[in-house]
Structure 1
Amino acid sequence: MMEWILPLVLICVGFLSGVIGEKFIFNKLKIFAANRHIPGSETIFSSLQRMPFIWFVLAGFFSAIISAPLKPDVIIFLRKIIIIIFLSSVTLVLARLTAGFVKLYTYRTEIVTASLISNLARTAILVLGTLIVLQTVGIEITPIVTTLGIGGIAVGLALQDTLANLFAGFYLIISKQVRTGDYVKLDDGHEGYITDITWRNTTIKELSNNVIIVPNSKLSSAIFTNYHLPVKEITLTMNVGVSYDSDLEEVERVTVEVAKEVMREIAPNLTENEPYIRFHTFGEFSIDFTLYMRVSEYFDQRIGKHLFVKKLHKRYRQAGISIPFPIREVYVQENNS
């Protein structure tokens, strides 16, 4: 029994070290990094979650196996199991780190990210780590890779639609025709913000908060309008008509002033783009013109039109400018016979 005291002590030390390392040291470092706003710290610590405890416990068991009175073949077997667990945990951490940093990079460059890229990076690391684990424990991986290659042909034929959507998703991302966060309108009338591009579908969130699921292959071949390309800023147009008695110079001045006021409220970074109007039609009841002003993105058109109509109506009343409406005169001829 005395020969087993040291192995048991080493296991207990590993367990206690894992608890201390996880509950105190790891959490303290996590709080410290969060307070200092260290870039990427959140991704690193979320990837390492529970891993310090597992590694300390594995170290305790590894030390216990070496010092335990066991047969050599049993020691070799147990050491292989510990190595497999350790390498698997390292692979999992690297997969989490890779996916997390891919998301972080794409978030900084494109505001939000498509999960297809991060999932592909995670899968690649997991596959590579699995092959390394198999090679480490003495399993020849060349026949496995060859078998997977041959089997991949059969799987590819059986999953043509899935692979078509997968490659269509890559095409959409690489070509940058659509990006997560873009506002698009499909040829069938559906429109909304791209929230994610997965290995099979593209998710579009409508303004009504409903979600539209579009297969990547259908989206890549569809006719759609991307209101965030080449830039998010778009020109809002409003058609207005004033009476024939109006002073058109005064109409232009007041209308542009109101448009500038609206832009200062909803698009202050675009105020260097002067709004303007263009008269174009002598209508039946009014002289018609179109206002042009810039807004930050497609969705801002709604609030822009709302504010412009309210403010313009008020200013026109103050300036004595009337917006005519159709009047129909009906003559009734009496028959005295």
Structure 2
Amino acid sequence: MRKYLIFFALFFVSSLTNANSDAFEQALAEINVQQQNMVVEHNKLITTADEERLYFEDVLSRQNKQVRDKVTLLVNTYGDDHETELGPVLMEQVKYLETAIKTTKAEINRLLDAAEQAADAKKIELSNYAYENMITLDQHYFALADTFTLCEKMNLDVSSSVSKFKRALVSRADMLSNMLRFYHKRENDLQDRMLVTTDEEKAELTKTARQLAEVSKLLVANLENTVLLLDRYKLDTAEYKQLIFSITGEITVDVLNFNVVSGLATQWLTSFKEWALVETPTLIMRLLLFVAIIIGTRSVSKLVKRAVKKSVSRPSMKLSKLMQEFFIGLSGKITFVLGLLIAISQLGINLGPLLAGFGVAGIVIGLALQDTLSNFASGMMILIYRPFDVGDFVDVAGGVRGKVSHMSLVSTTIKTFDHQRLIIPNNKIWGDTINNISAENYRRVDMLFGIGYGDDIRKAEQVLQDILETHPLVLKDKDHEYVIKVHALGESSVDFAVRPWVENADYWTVYWDVTRAVKLRFDEEGISIPFPQRDVHIYQHG
């Protein structure tokens, strides 16, 4: 029984081995057929026109990927047992890729040469074909590098081909770097030319600059792919990475490499030294001119403010203090801003983008300072309609009373009668009732005096009349006659309304003097000034 089990086990293992061998032979045969077909398709590619080449390139690209995937699978699966059979397949793949690289390079050169001689429309088309072939060339390089890795895994001697491949990669990186510098310089030159050209020329230059930017982008992608391959073979790529960073400005992990950082620092330091040697004298002169213009602008601003102040302060202008200060301050600020812009232009700074930036910043600041702008708008309304002026006595913002000591477009400063200084936002003043106490030249002093019900009304009227007649500050002309009338019969007194007219400045003097005189005269004449009284009746219940 044991012999039969051993026999069946050996038979099963042999069957599996034969099955694996059959699968390997079948896959190897398919790869050989596909490789032969690729050679045929590649020969067709060489002899076809530009439009048909794209089709054959696409076919070859897909077939090449399929072959590489199958070869990689065979090497990883059967490599240890079938080195002899897989070696020729890998070498054939190396041979095909080297030929494809050579053919693609020749095609790129042919297309670029043809583009130089072609018209504008055809030139763009041929250039696009050339750049598409450069992408294909990158794919061939990556495929060849992967194939070399498989060859080394199978212990195939490809050292000579790898050395040649490394030299080709370095040569390609140098070529791409030079092309990239050339196109980037042309792009910068076009940007400088657009600053001094007409609108028609600028449109054409913009189109050309856009095309150059697209070409530079493709070249950067090609150089990045080449750098990846160079890094795979541990070759020095610091210079190429510096160039990519200086053009794109993209910060990647490669930029943090010490060699790249030191190279960039050296490059920037050298550029700064060269710039300093050329531009320092000019920069010093521009800075001196900038400082001179700023100093001169400040002096001119002061002169302009004096001239405007002299003009708006004339009585014939009839401008409020706020409007005078507004025009004086505005004239000085406008003069200084104009001088500042002139000074900045002397530094070589383009004012167009700067002014556009100020516009955008103004919108942002306006949204952030809505309350302040509301105060400013209210200040403008006060400026235009002039409900009060500096020096007026006002009652504003729901009960704030005092003298206006200072006004601006944002706030109003009021000094109260007890010498407090209140700063009130203009939107609170304009949005509420404004009582300008000193707007008119004359004011009526409203006072109320009470006498007892047992006192003589006629005598009291005569006493009040004598007090007003003898006071020197009470106006006595027919347009401002004082009033003395019985106003009301109160709960405990007969009330007199006493209303003399006075000049604004004499209001409180008359108010206090008359009040004091009434008390003294009523006491002398025996007229009582009653206070509130209540009669209280007490009832006792037995």
Q: Any conservation in 2 of the 1:234–1:296 contact (CA below 8 Å)?
A: yes
1:175 is matched with which residue? 385
2:301 is aligned with 1:92:
yes
Asked if residue 124 in structure 1 is aligned to residue 334 in structure 2, the reply is yes
Deviation at 1:291, TM superposition (A): 0.8
Q: Which residue in the other structure is 1:278 paired with?
A: 485
CA contact (8 A) 1:165 1:215 kept: yes
1:211 correspondence with 2:418:
no
2:394 and 2:303 map into 1 onto residues whose CA distance is 35
Contact 1:201 1:214 in 2 (8 A): yes
Cα distance change of structure 1 residues 131 and 197 upon mapping to structure 2, 3 Å threshold: same
The match for 1:251 among 460, 467, 471 is: 460
Match status 1:307 vs 2:307: no
Code of the aligned partner of 1:254: V
> Deviation digits for residues 227-259 of structure 1, max 9, x if unmatched?
233x15321111112234544344333213312
| CA spacing shift, 1:227–1:75, aligned 2, 3 Å | closer
Equivalent pairs, count? 258
2:398–2:432 Cα contact (<8 Å) kept: no
Give the Cα–Cα distance (whole angstroms) in 1 for the partners of residues 320 and 363 of structure 2: 37
Mapped partners of 1:110, 1:259: distance in 2: 38
- 1:317 partner letter: D
The alpha carbon displacement at 1:144 in A equals 4.4
| Distance apart, 1:138 and its partner CA | 7.9
Are 1:162 and 2:372 matched, yes or no? yes
Question: Could you list the runs of 5+ residues in structure 1 that have no partner in the other structure?
Answer: 1-71
Q: Please give the alpha-carbon distance, in whole angstroms, between the structure 1 residues aligned to 2:355 and 2:310.
A: 28
Match of residue 450 from structure 2:
241
- Partner SS, residue 403 of structure 2: strand
Query: Which amino acid in 2 is paired with 1:215?
Result: P
Per-residue displacement from partner, 1:257-314 (whole Å, max 9, x unpaired)? Answer: 312444x24x6xx4432221121323343322201112333x8544433211211122
CA deviation after TM superposition for structure 1 residue 324, in Å = 3.3
Q: Deviations over 1:138-160 (max 9, x none)?
A: 87655544443344233322322
The offset of 1:111, in angstroms, is: 8.2
The more displaced of 209-218 and 125-134 is 125-134
Question: Residues 276 and 292 of structure 1 are in contact (CA less than 8 Å); yes or no, is this contact kept in structure 2?
Answer: yes
Question: Which amino acid in the other structure matches residue 198 of structure 1?
Answer: S
Which residue, out of 390, 393, 405, partners 1:195? 405
Q: Does 1:149 align with 2:359?
A: yes
Residue in structure 1 matched with residue 239 of structure 2 by the alignment: none
1:292 to 499, 505, 508: 499
**Following the alignment from structure 1 to structure 2, what is the Cα–Cα distance between the partners of residues 224 and 85?**
43
Contact 2:375 2:410 in 1 (8 A): yes
Query: Per residue, is there more strand in 1 or in 2?
Result: 1
Instruction: Output the amino acid matched with 1:316.
Output: F
- Specify whether residues 150 and 324 from structure 1 end up closer, same or farther in structure 2 by C-alpha distance, changes over 3 A only: closer
With 197-206 and 91-100 compared, the bigger mean Cα shift is at 91-100
Which SS does the other structure have where 1:234 is aligned?
strand
Out of 391, 394, 407, the position equivalent to 1:184 is 394
1:113 Cα deviation (Å)? 4.7
Deviation (angstroms), 1:134: 5.3
Write 1 or 2 for the structure with the bigger share of helix: 2
RMSD over aligned Cα atoms: 3.8
Q: Deviations over 1:111-152 (max 9, x none)?
A: 855755543333223223334555688876555444433442
Amino acid at match of 1:217: N
Please, which runs of 5 or more residues in structure 2 have no aligned partner? 1-280
TM score, norm. by length of structure 1: 0.61
Question: Which structure's relative contact order is higher, taking Cα pairs within 8 Å and 6+ residues apart?
Answer: 1
Cα contact 1:95–1:121 (8 A) shared by 2? yes
> Which residue in the other structure is 1:316 paired with?
522
| Contact in 2 for aligned 1:98/1:121 (Cα 8 Å) | no
Equivalents in 2 of 1:271, 1:315: separation in Å? 21
Tell me the alpha carbon deviations over residues 48-94 of structure 1, each in whole angstroms, 9 at most, x when there is no partner: xxxxxxxxxxxxxxxxxxxxxxxx98997698468525632432322
Q: Does 1:223 align with 2:471?
A: no
Residues of 2 paired with 1:187 and 1:286: CA distance? Answer: 36
SS at match of 2:530: coil
Work out the CA distance in 2 between the residues paired with 1:102 and 1:160.
Answer: 34
Contact 2:484 2:499 (8 Å CA) reproduced = yes
